[in-house]
A = this chain, B = another copy of it.
């Protein structure tokens, strides 16, 4: 998903994963301003919402309108989450570029989160793949199956590797273009990241695993990114200000912070395409729209090191 001018892709998930975990409902106008400002800062993929029943997540009830707006931004990949084929239909109708279906490798968590067994979720994946295949080639969204709670579940604990491998294979067989690894619960550590990347690539192929969704619940978020980078992954989810988490996994708060992630990658000489100052300035929009909601991040407090030269600016 990276173009010739970038080495890594940061996928902003704040408008979905961030907003779904907090009580306050962000007004549509603020969502638009956030997405527009972050795209203007150089972020080229944003997960803008989730097609779930509004009763479950009223924060994301306006996802169709958000997608329609985001689609007007040139060069932006507009991603959405869907819990099932009905959500995928809505996502396709709205014109989403990328559709992610989460499959919790913990069946207990799957039942709690999506109210579905593994077999039922795989069926949904198959139906979604068929919906997409029926579209004209130039209108087909990218379809990712995301292995959530891959690093352990707050209800079940560790999940056997064999079960994760089997589910990754099932998602690919069902017709996903790609699988992703998701540390829904913040249980991951760098060794586990490396082990699961090797495991999933072993069954799905290297090209079928390029991205990872990490949380910073126990402070290891960026170390886990480094482990994944070393394995060749190129797409990293993050949330502006570290907003968000998973409302169905108690204690599992805290996406990695987009600003800190972008800083680390740029400092390492990896081009993200993002302007760090403009990115940090986007916090004001989120803070103003969500009064009292804490925002996280080290870079915004510490500022850039003296003489810092981001990789992206060097390439320009």
Interface residues of A (CB under 8 A from B): 152-158, 185-187, 189-192, 216-220, 222-223, 225-227, 230, 251, 257, 260, 263-264, 267-269, 297-299, 302-303, 305-307
Contacts and interface: CB of A to CB of B under 8 A. Distances in A.
B307 A267 contact: no
A303 B260 CA distance: 23
Given A189-B268, A222-B223, 11 more contacts: A158-B307, A186-B305, A189-B264, A192-B267, A218-B260, A218-B299, A223-B264, A226-B226, A226-B227, A230-B230, A251-B303
Nearest to A270: B191
29 contacts: A152-B307, A154-B306, A155-B306, A156-B306, A157-B306, A158-B307, A187-B305, A187-B306, A189-B264, A190-B264, A217-B302, A218-B260, A218-B263, A218-B298, A218-B299, A218-B302, A218-B305, A219-B222, A219-B260, A219-B264, A219-B298, A220-B264, A220-B267, A220-B298, A222-B223, A223-B223, A223-B225, A223-B264, A226-B226
A7 to B, nearest CB: 12
Nearest to A187: B305
How many copies of the polypeptide does the oligomer hold? 2
A223 B153 CA distance: 24
A308 to B, nearest CB: 8
Nearest to A259: B219
A164 B156 CA distance: 50
Given A189-B268, A220-B260, A264-B223, A152 B297 contact: no
A191 B267 contact: yes
Nearest to A229: B190
A263 B219 CA distance: 10
A179 B199 CA distance: 39
A269 B191 contact: yes
Given A268-B191, A297-B219, A302 B186 contact: yes
A154 to B, nearest CB: 6
A152 B298 CA distance: 18
Contact of A226 (B158, B223, B302): B223
A306 B264 contact: no
Contacts of A220: 222, 260, 263-264, 267, 298
A303 B223 CA distance: 18
A212 to B, nearest CB: 14
Contact of A185 (B153, B223, B269, B305): B305
